[in-house]
Amino acid sequence: MFDSSFGGRVRALLRHRPLAEAADNAGRQTWGAHSYDVVTLALAAIDSVIARQGFDDEVTYDEVVAGLSALAAAAHPEYPVEEHEQVARYVVDSLLNRRERETPYRYQISIYSRDDGVVRHRDVPAEFRLLTEYEDHARGVNVLRASADAINALVGGLEFDVEDEQAAIELMLARQLERGAFGQAEKAAERSRLLSVRYADELRTLLADTTRDIRTVLDQWAEQVPVQLERNRTHLEERLAAEAKLLEHVRGALDAPDSELAVSIAAARIAALLEECRRRHTELHGRLVSARTTFLDEQTRQSFRPVGGLRNPDLTDDIFLPLLGLRADLAVEPAETFAMSIAGTRVPRMVRLADLVDDLLAPRRGTVIEDPPDTDEEIGDPEPPAVPPEVLMAAADVVDIVELPARLSELLLAARVADLPGEVDRDAVERVIALSVLWSYAPESVEDFSLAVDAAARVLGPTAAVDADDTPIAVSGWSGDDLIVGADEEMLATYAGGERS
């Protein structure tokens, strides 16, 4: 118990504890007296998940339930179909730990050590999952995946290095095939398939974390990941070569004219397992090749993404009229996207019934009724607007006189010579035009963001677009780039292209 591997051995035993607890609790179910083999059904569920894990058609909750229902029906055909489905759902929910809202299984283990002849004890939490549920965005369904702990529970071993274990398994498989021990070879091939699933899952997790937030794995990419990717590539090349040789040996047994029926059946199953391993390794090799590109692409997307420009589209001309002109089948997708974007928060696909029940049973929040203000209290005059309306109107008139597209210098010079009403400050009009152009080019965070957007749109137009071409402004009192202003992006591109040509 003082050995350093003692804790790992205890954790390995704990992986089987949820299965034993599920079997014990089965007796309390309505069908508990009918003696269904819950442990075997749980291992079959994990196996069915692993068989398609990492592929495009990962298994769903309902598919696993349907498979287990068929097994339960084969064990007790005399009972109704509804009971078989109840048993199957109980098994899958136990593996997901839905009784505890799909939280990880958590147990306390004891770690003993000897310090100067004194035996010391400490409690250490051990957490793990068996099955987890994810949303497959490409298919729009929830899928199940087996954790590394579930794979280890099915394999029946401690934590191990997947590469060394798989190489050892293939060597053992080759020796078993050479001496004709096809029964043992089939078990070794099945173990190799499980290791392939776990090996692929480790890389998938790394790439998923990179895509989600590169900052969480930046240190790994700086030191560990490049070495790991090179080691993975070498390992996969060795595995693909070894699997090709093993498949050739197995097919030789299948094609032998004097082979026994049992040998042919076992060889066919081994060939299928090796084919699946080779397919997984080929797909994984493709991910390895593009892994570095994924890192660079995500670094560019997440770290160097430019700030988006501010455009206020014309809802009538830019959105509704083009949408109404489309065929119904083409208009469905943008209409649904627009509707979902303005609908606010959406309920997640994986709804937790337990959370809903807790929310419904929560105590009612009290309503605070504020006292009305005293009638004698002076409300006071409203604050004047930051920019007087007459200044905004005069600035918009100057832009209309110049006509877009134009450079900022043209707009400023036009404001200096324009015929303005006597009460309008000419310098204020010039500043408003410059600030509106700068705001449209590079919006900044201000306290009243919507007011700034409306002011810029009123001066330059609702779809105005601004760009720079490194031309310095040549107007006294101003410095920086002489920005180009267009009524929209298409006009801006045409103007800029005409100047460059």
Q: How far apart (Å, rounded) are the C-alpha atoms in residues 388 and 390?
A: 5
CA angle, residues 465, 470, 472, in degrees to nearest 5 = 100
In a domain? residue 434: yes
Number of domains in the chain: 3
3-state secondary structure 403-430: CCCEEHHHHHHHHHHCCCCCCCCHHHHH
Within this chain, do residues 174 and 240 fall inside the same structural domain, yes or no? yes
Within this chain, do residues 294 and 197 fall inside the same structural domain, yes or no? yes
Within this chain, do residues 99 and 182 fall inside the same structural domain, yes or no? no
For residue 352, the model assigns a pLDDT of 61
Residue 441: both structure tokens together: 């080019």
Within this chain, do residues 150 and 184 fall inside the same structural domain, yes or no? no
Q: How far apart (Å, rounded) are the C-alpha atoms in residues 19 and 44?
A: 12
Amino acid at 55: F
Range of the domain at 177: 162-303
Kindly report the number of other CB atoms within 10 A of residue 129's CB atom: 19
For residue 191, the model assigns a pLDDT of 58
135 Cβ neighbours under 8 A, 6+ residues apart: 141, 142, 143, 348, 349, 350
Residue 97: both structure tokens together: 């730990």
Q: Which of 415, 412, 425 is nearest to 478 (CA)?
A: 412
In a domain? residue 78: yes
Within this chain, do residues 115 and 177 fall inside the same structural domain, yes or no? no
Residue 169: both structure tokens together: 């398994």
Q: Which of 285, 290, 277 is nearest to 235 (CA)?
A: 285
Residue in the structure block whose two tokens are 């798989």: 166
Q: How far apart (Å, rounded) are the C-alpha atoms in residues 157 and 198?
A: 13
| Regions of the chain short of the pLDDT cut 50 | 157-160, 377-379, 500-501
Within this chain, do residues 136 and 51 fall inside the same structural domain, yes or no? yes
Within this chain, do residues 290 and 166 fall inside the same structural domain, yes or no? yes
Within this chain, do residues 130 and 214 fall inside the same structural domain, yes or no? no
Residue 459: both structure tokens together: 């001066």
In a domain? residue 180: yes
Amino acid at 296: L
Within this chain, do residues 174 and 217 fall inside the same structural domain, yes or no? yes
- Which of 130, 155, 180 finishes a domain? 155
Q: Which of 58, 121, 65 is nearest to 92 (CA)?
A: 65
Strand, helix or coil at 38? Answer: helix
Within this chain, do residues 56 and 133 fall inside the same structural domain, yes or no? yes
Number of helices and strands in the chain (H, E): 19, 7
